[in-house]
Copies of this chain bind each other. A is one copy, B any other.
């Protein structure tokens, strides 16, 4: 096959040499990823971050292509050449099961994007499945096994999913590029030079240790600065409340939903198929929300217009010991006339930037291994004081969200708002003492 290229602002070009890859990109399930934003509600805060999962998946594939090409050339004794295509295909398809606003949607409708990915890979009705089957009858299952971490070759599994994998490497660079924040930039070229397969997985030559360290720090900074940004999370809780209101209303307003948002019905009724799932995307969801603005329920209508027109909730942080006192705030919100069920929310965002492998942990982490000159392996945080400081530590905060109206100091609710503000100090919920701001 004549090499095809796609211009890409992050990797300059995406190179496609395999017919299989080219066909997968052109499959309808993959093209659908063009209609799903990579960053979901974050693009409401960072307006440049409007790129799709399509572009991220191409990027993850390109990194896999560069790595496997190098592995074939430099480490033929450690890397099985036949794993290269599997690695590239899985990198390309690792997010194919993502749907519109996945994280919120999953919580409300019990879907799971990883399961969906495996369904797309193995369901005989999909174009993706048909293409994969042409490689070998068991190829679709192999790809699914890598996704599920059950594939025996740990090198492949770690390239696709570990604390430093093609997915994360691409999304840090890409989200950083498109949002215009430079925190996510790290030295991919150097990492690609020092990565190598070992008997037990993937490791990095010591000479590139600082580039790996820089990657870990970049990832931490992107979480703190971009992914956990309070305004993005605000749109997420608004969306959650909106969908929740729709779920609650559904029984009473079936006809309205059947007409305004037909493709959501199978989900309201817990009977969706893969095809139903694939029929949803950001554009479909947003056009439904627009329809809901004109609907019969005042709360649904108001939340929908707030979402569509980006009227974000405001928020304050709170300490875990004060979580049970949040009703103080909820009550004032209710007094002003907002149903706290739909006009407030609690949102926790915590991340473990890096961790060593802990055999007894629920979610075991594959630690990052560095190769010393004598070929022995050593875990990253033992060499890097910065990584050691982040290792095993949890970062993030808990926030209480409420309508911006609560902060207005004039108007009919002025007294209530004053009371509301008296519990807030330095943007933090401080119930102990009534503050005079």
| Binary contact readout A42-65 vs B (1 if CB under 8 angstroms, 0 otherwise) | 011011101110110010000000
Contact B389 A426 (CB under 8 A): no
| Stretch of A117-125, A181-189, A414-422 lying at the B interface | A181-189
Partner pick for A9 among B34, B180, B217, B372, CB 8 A cutoff? B180
Partner pick for A309 among B31, B55, B395, CB 8 A cutoff? B31
Give the docked Cα–Cα distance between A51 and B390 (Å). 35
In the assembled complex, A360 has its CB within 8 A of some CB on chain B: no
Which B residues are in CB contact (< 8 Å) with A287?
A: 281, 283-284, 287
Give the docked Cα–Cα distance between A351 and B309 (Å). 37
Protomer copies: 4
Smallest Cβ distance from A183 to chain B, in angstroms? 6
With contacts A193-B5, A287-B284, A287-B287 taken as known, whether A187 is within 8 angstroms of B180 at the C-beta atoms is: no
Question: Which residues of chain A from 168 to 186 have any CB-CB distance to chain B below 8 Å in the complex?
Answer: 177-183, 185-186
Give the docked Cα–Cα distance between A39 and B43 (Å). 17
In the assembled complex, A28 has its CB within 8 A of some CB on chain B: yes
With contacts A47-B58, A372-B426 taken as known, whether A388 is within 8 angstroms of B389 at the C-beta atoms is: yes
Partner pick for A426 among B217, B374, B386, CB 8 A cutoff? B374
Question: Which residues of chain A from 366 to 419 have any CB-CB distance to chain B below 8 Å in the complex?
Answer: 372-374, 385-386, 388-390, 393, 395
In the assembled complex, A427 has its CB within 8 A of some CB on chain B: yes
Smallest Cβ distance from A52 to chain B, in angstroms? 6
Contact B286 A35 (CB under 8 A): yes
Contact B9 A178 (CB under 8 A): yes
| Binary contact readout A12-23 vs B (1 if CB under 8 angstroms, 0 otherwise) | 110000000000
Contact A309 B28 (CB under 8 A): yes
In the assembled complex, A102 has its CB within 8 A of some CB on chain B: no
In the assembled complex, A114 has its CB within 8 A of some CB on chain B: no
Instruction: Given contacts A13-B193, A48-B51, list 18 more A-B pairs with CB under 8 A.
Output: A7-B181, A8-B48, A13-B189, A26-B310, A28-B309, A31-B309, A34-B43, A34-B47, A35-B286, A48-B55, A50-B51, A210-B224, A217-B386, A281-B286, A283-B284, A372-B426, A385-B389, A389-B390
In the assembled complex, 7 residue pairs joining A and B whose CB atoms fall closer than 8 Å, in A order, are A8-B48, A9-B48, A34-B44, A283-B287, A284-B287, A284-B290, A388-B389
